[in-house]
């Protein structure tokens, strides 16, 4: 029976959080030995090194060179696609029972090595300890949950009723072929693994192109699994999105794409990939996620929920809360409490025990933050944050202050557009219908939350909100923190194309197509 990993929660329940931190500290010392290592691409079942490389530096300390990866060429990407195509039939004919076994074995490997893998992730993309471990837990959950789904559905093959006495008919879901998997920086383990496993466990082969900001975690997955599969069933290719990613999107040998990233890149990729041939394109493309705070809300829970959703991993989650609609009766109290709690958050190196606020991923994100601050000063009022931290220990990292803005016009670009930085806009509303209407004005529809004690308002929210993942009175996080198997992660409108949620019962069906088999006696 599937059960979420929940490492930190288990240590809390066992009153052994000191042991968690001791293990994390030990893992940090261990992984430091590998800093600056040269990594290969993996194509056709072989590790291939190159002198043409790019460096991976920690966003928390850009003086730390974590790894060197090959800057793959178009020819490298085409080779990976070609070998994946050649490997398809061999892998697709492996029994579903064997595929289930393989992914459970890899999940166990990750579970045994989770502290070291989480520590790598913390340096690589800047997540604090708890966020990094959550990323690893989700990776393990994806492998185990999808294995269970495949097993429970007996490989998605079943008999149908016979239309004629001399016929026996069966419906079989079969893999497409080669899938290109293009993963983002913010969940370098969970999302790259979740998409790759979805394709692989259903019998497809994969060419995985990770974000150049955080390729180490994706490599660790491919390193753990590729020798367990037929050669070239999974390929790992690093490099430029304009070269490697574009080559994958343009190749006629690629049967499907799984993508997570920005709306602009996703829509462009979709148009390129399906322009002349109908092929599946699974995407999750961000959000501008609202939280509604009604006058009956518990403001302690509401401020905790918004703070964690807005500033966890510095707002660099597709599900981050970036706009809040508060009823005028309690707006002043809400903002006062939220500001007070935000000012207590510790900005620091993410691998340090007490750090909460992470760095943003790169220079481009820093510039986006500064642009947002400038716009906020002109159009509204910054009541918290809005600066670069002055702590000299943070000067080599991409650190910014969690920022709260009030008083912006309701149609301001900061209220409409996804920023992916720790920046939240607080707006006031009179009637509940107004709050729903403003929440739904966005082109995005990923997550949404509400804090209210009015059952009628809650039902109205759930009935009318245009979002794929919703939360009611959730102090743990108003809009983030979906758990595999419990809360399928699905985007509506411009937040996604398929309408099927990762970590849900319908996700695997996207990687296969139905074949009806009728045999006559």
**CATH number for 132:** 3.40.605.10
Q: Are residues 255 and 350 in the same domain?
A: no
- What is the pLDDT averaged over residues 15-40? 98
410 CB-contact burial (10 Å; exposed 0-12 / middle 13-18 / buried 19+): middle
Asked whether the predicted pLDDT for residue 44 surpasses 90, the reply is: yes
Asked whether the predicted pLDDT for residue 290 surpasses 90, the reply is: yes
Spot the catalytic one: 284, 418, 427, 438: 284
Residue 519: inside a domain: no
- What is the pLDDT averaged over residues 311-322? 98
The strand pair at 254-260 and 281-284 is best described as: parallel
Annotation marks residue 384 as catalytic:
no
What percentage of the chain carries pLDDT values higher than 90?
Answer: 98
Q: Are residues 276 and 294 in the same domain?
A: no
Residue 4: inside a domain: no
Residue 204: inside a domain: yes
Of 298, 292, 382, 377, the closest CA to residue 333 belongs to: 298
Of 347, 414, 337, the closest CA to residue 383 belongs to: 337
pLDDT at 412: 97
Residue 128: inside a domain: yes
Q: Are residues 25 and 148 in the same domain?
A: yes
The average confidence (pLDDT) of the chain is 97
Q: Are residues 247 and 317 in the same domain?
A: no
Of 188, 103, 190, the closest CA to residue 146 belongs to: 103
Lateral strand order in the sheet of 512-520: 157-159, 167-175, 512-520
Q: Are residues 131 and 171 in the same domain?
A: yes
Residue 59: inside a domain: yes
Residues 122, 214: Cα–Cα separation, whole Å: 10
Spot the catalytic one: 131, 138, 318, 401: 318
Asked whether the predicted pLDDT for residue 222 surpasses 90, the reply is: yes
**Can you give the residue range of the structural domain that contains 281?**
11-159+167-285+498-511
pLDDT at 80: 98
Q: Are residues 78 and 144 in the same domain?
A: yes
Q: pTM for this one?
A: 0.97
Residue 5: inside a domain: no
Q: Are residues 90 and 145 in the same domain?
A: yes
Of 42, 361, 349, 59, the closest CA to residue 207 belongs to: 42
Residue 116: inside a domain: yes
Q: Are residues 224 and 347 in the same domain?
A: no
Asked whether the predicted pLDDT for residue 250 surpasses 90, the reply is: yes
Q: Are residues 306 and 194 in the same domain?
A: no
Q: Are residues 280 and 315 in the same domain?
A: no
Annotation marks residue 105 as catalytic:
no
Q: Are residues 366 and 474 in the same domain?
A: yes
- What is the pLDDT averaged over residues 350-354? 95
pLDDT at 276: 79
Residue 84: inside a domain: yes
Asked whether the predicted pLDDT for residue 70 surpasses 90, the reply is: yes
Give the CATH number, domain containing residue 321: 3.40.309.10
* 131 Rama sector, left if φ>0, alpha if ψ -120 to 50, beta otherwise: alpha
Q: Cβ contacts of residue 349 below 8 Å, gap of 6+?
A: 60, 61, 355, 393, 394, 397
Q: Are residues 367 and 425 in the same domain?
A: yes
Q: Work out how many domains the chain is built from and give that number.
A: 2
Two tokens, residue 12? 């809390």
Q: Give tens-digit pLDDT for 126-184.
A: 999 999 999 999 999 999 999 999 999 999 999 999 889 999 999 999 999 999 999 99
Asked whether the predicted pLDDT for residue 95 surpasses 90, the reply is: yes
């Amino acid at each position: 029976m599937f059960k979420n990993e929940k490492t930190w929660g288990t240590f809390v329940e066992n009153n052994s959080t000191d042991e968690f931190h001791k293990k994390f500290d030990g893992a940090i010392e261990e992984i430091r030995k590998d800093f600056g290592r040269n990594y290969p691409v993996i194509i056709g079942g072989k590790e291939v090194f190159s002198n043409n490389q790019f460096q991976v530096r920690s966003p928390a300390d850009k003086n730390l060179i974590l790894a060197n990866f090959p800057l793959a060429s178009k020819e490298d990407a085409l080779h990976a696609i070609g070998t994946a195509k050649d490997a398809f039939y061999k892998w697709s004919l492996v029994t579903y029972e064997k595929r289930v076994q393989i992914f459970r074995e890899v999940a166990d490997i990750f579970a045994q090595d989770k502290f070291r893998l989480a520590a790598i992730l913390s340096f690589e993309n800047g997540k604090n300890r708890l966020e990094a471990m959550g990323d690893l837990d989700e990776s393990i959950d994806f492998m185990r949950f999808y294995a269970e789904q495949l097993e429970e559905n007996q490989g998605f093959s079943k008999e149908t009723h016979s239309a004629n006495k001399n016929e026996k008919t069966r419906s079989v879901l079969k893999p497409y072929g080669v899938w290109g998997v293009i993963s983002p920086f913010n969940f370098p383990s969970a999302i790259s693994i979740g998409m790759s496993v979805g394709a692989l466990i259903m019998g497809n082969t994969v060419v995985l192109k990770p974000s150049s900001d955080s390729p180490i975690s994706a490599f660790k997955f491919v390193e753990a699994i590729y020798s367990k599969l037929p050669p070239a069933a999974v390929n790992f290719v690093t490099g430029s999105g304009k070269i490697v990613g574009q080559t994958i999107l343009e190749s006629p040998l690629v049967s499907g794409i799984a993508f997570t990233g920005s709306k602009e890149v996703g829509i462009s990729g979709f148009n390129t990939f399906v322009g002349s041939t109908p092929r599946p394109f699974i995407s999750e493309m961000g959000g501008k996620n609202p939280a509604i705070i009604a006058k009956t809300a518990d403001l302690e829970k509401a401020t905790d929920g918004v703070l964690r959703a807005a500033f966890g991993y510095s707002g660099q989650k597709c599900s981050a809360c970036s706009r809040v609609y508060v009823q005028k009766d309690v707006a002043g109290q809400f903002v006062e409490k939220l500001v007070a709690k935000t000012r207590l958050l510790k900005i620091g190196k993410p691998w340090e025990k007490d750090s909460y606020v992470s760095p943003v991923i790169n220079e481009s994100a820093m510039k986006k933050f500064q642009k947002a601050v400038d716009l906020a000063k002109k159009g509204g009022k910054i009541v918290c944050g809005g600066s670069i931290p002055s702590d000299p220990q943070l000067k080599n990292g991409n650190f910014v202050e969690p920022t709260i803005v009030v008083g912006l016009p309701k149609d301001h670009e900061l209220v409409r557009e996804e920023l992916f930085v720790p920046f939240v806009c607080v707006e006031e509303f009179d009637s509940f219908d107004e709050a729903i209407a403003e929440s739904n004005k966005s082109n995005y529809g990923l997550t949404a939350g509400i804090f209210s004690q009015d059952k009628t308002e809650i039902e109205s929210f759930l009935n009318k909100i245009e979002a794929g993942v919703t939360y009611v009175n959730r102090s743990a996080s108003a809009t983030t923190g979906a758990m595999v198997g419990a809360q399928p992660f699905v985007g509506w409108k411009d937040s996604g194309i398929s309408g099927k949620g990762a970590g849900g019962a319908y996700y695997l069906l996207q990687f296969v197509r139905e074949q009806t088999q009728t045999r006559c006696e």
